[in-house]
Amino acid sequence: MSSTSRDPQVVVEVLSEALPYIQQFSGKTVVVKYGGNAMTEDTLIDSFARNIVLMKEVGINPVVVHGGGPQIGSLLEKLNIESRFVNGMRVTDSQTMDVVEMVLGGLVNKSIVNLINQSGGKAIGLTGKDGAQIRARQLKVEHQSPEMTAPEIIDIGHVGEVESISTDLIEMLAAKDFIPVIAPIGVDGEGHSYNINADLVAGKLAEALNAEKLMLLTNVAGLMNSEGEVLTGLSTAQVDALIADGTIYGGMLPKIRCALDAVKGGVNSAHIIDGRVPHAVLLEIFTNAGVGTLITDAG
Ligand SMILES: Nc1ncnc2c1ncn2[C@@H]1O[C@H](COP(=O)(O)OP(=O)(O)O)[C@@H](O)[C@H]1O
Ligand SMILES: CC(=O)N[C@@H](CCC(=O)OP(=O)(O)O)C(=O)O
């Protein structure tokens, strides 16, 4: 249905129903992590950009953190470099790190910035290296295969975890009505770059900004059990059990861990939602429709 053929009465009712949510979230910060797997179709990316601009227009401060795993994978493939993951983290040698910086800091970051600006917003794209705002250290990964009696610590190269985040730059931009769009690349005291999983950056940034919400947009309906049912309101112990029995694996591991950490660190709620649904962000913020998995500290 085109916008001109919608019943005007329905349009104003929908707007009116959004009022309590606008009042509740106005002036608050919402960190939205846009996963590379959710950036599938142009129309979806466009609706994402419009959702972010609408949030800003009604007084919410959106901060976008983006991924780009599949986009990194496709350039690596063209360069005949193999993609390998351990516990959902990309094994990153120096050559791969160069590709990660090019794809995340360049291609993906600037395309999101461009789309938000095309929708009437004022987006600024940064990596964690700008202003050295994301300090990183090397992430040591614990790995245990079934035949091993104890886990081993393995070195997966230039993969980082967040050591600290300075929010000055982001707060300065948000105060001037810019929309910060952050690529998950960190830097250590010696100027070395680190590839950080975007979920981890989004979670830590939500904590550092004292955000109201953390929204993780991905390519599934939410965190699911082995029957494919979406789970919601889980406790840390329930999540640990789902990890131990293999129900949660791969890219969902950092996602669920960072969501739990964020709510423990003071973020009011974290949501794992389906970025393949048009207007997923607005559906979550401005309606009662339960999209995806909700994580709160009470869960
Ligand atoms: N229990 C689970 N419920 C839903 N998805 C899961 C689960 N365990 C693992 N996954 C995987 O996690 C993926 C999402 O993580 P990832 O591929 O890193 O997405 P993104 O690019 O959005 O961060 C899903 O596509 C799915 O294959
Ligand atoms: C260490 C690590 O795995 N970094 C990720 C960074 C991008 C990312 O997180 O992208 P998605 O959100 O689309 O998965 C990677 O290299 O793929």
CATH of the domain at 157: 3.40.1160.10
Q: Is the CB of 68 under 6 A from ligand 1?
A: no
294 located within any domain: no
Mean pLDDT, the chain, rounded, equals 92
Q: How confident is the model at residue 4 (pLDDT cuts 50, 70, 90)?
A: low
Q: Catalogue the E-assigned strands of the chain.
A: 29-34, 61-66, 85-86, 89-90, 123-127, 134-143, 152-165, 179-183, 185-187, 193-195, 213-218, 269-274, 293-295
Q: What pLDDT digit, counting tens, does each position of 44-91 carry?
A: 889 999 999 999 999 999 999 999 999 999 999 999 999 999 888 999
Residue 290's pLDDT is: 63
Share of the chain above pLDDT 70, in %: 97
Q: Could you give the ipTM of this predicted complex?
A: 0.96
Residue 1's pLDDT is: 47
Q: Is the CB of 250 under 6 A from ligand 1?
A: yes
Q: How confident is the model at residue 187 (pLDDT cuts 50, 70, 90)?
A: very high
49 located within any domain: yes
Report the binding-site residues.
68-69, 90, 195
19 located within any domain: no
Distance CA 47, CA 266 (A): 29
Question: Are the beta carbons of 133 and 165 closer than 8 angstroms?
Answer: yes
5 located within any domain: no
Determine the atom of ligand 1 nearest the C-alpha atom of 198.
23
Q: State whether residue 215 is helix, strand or coil.
A: strand
Pairwise pLDDT comparison (240 vs 106), residue with the higher score: 106
Residue 298's pLDDT is: 67
Q: Is the CB of 219 under 6 A from ligand 1?
A: yes
260 located within any domain: yes
Determine the atom of ligand 2 nearest the C-alpha atom of 96.
16
DSSP state of 102: I
23 Cβ contact list (under 8 Å, min separation 6): none
299 located within any domain: no
Distance CA 247, CA 22 (A): 36
127 located within any domain: yes
Q: What pLDDT digit, counting tens, does each position of 277-286 carry?
A: 888 899 888 8
Which range of residues forms the domain containing residue 108? 26-225+239-276+283-287
Q: How confident is the model at residue 38 (pLDDT cuts 50, 70, 90)?
A: confident
10 located within any domain: no
Could you tell me which residues are beta bridge partners of residue 193?
A: 187
- pTM beyond 0.90: yes
Domain count, the chain: 1
Cβ < 6 Å from ligand 2: which residues? Answer: 35-37, 67-69, 72, 89-90, 100, 159, 184, 195, 197-198, 251
Q: What pLDDT digit, counting tens, does each position of 206-222 carry?
A: 999 999 999 999 999 99
Residue 41's pLDDT is: 83
Could you tell me which residues are beta bridge partners of residue 20?
A: none
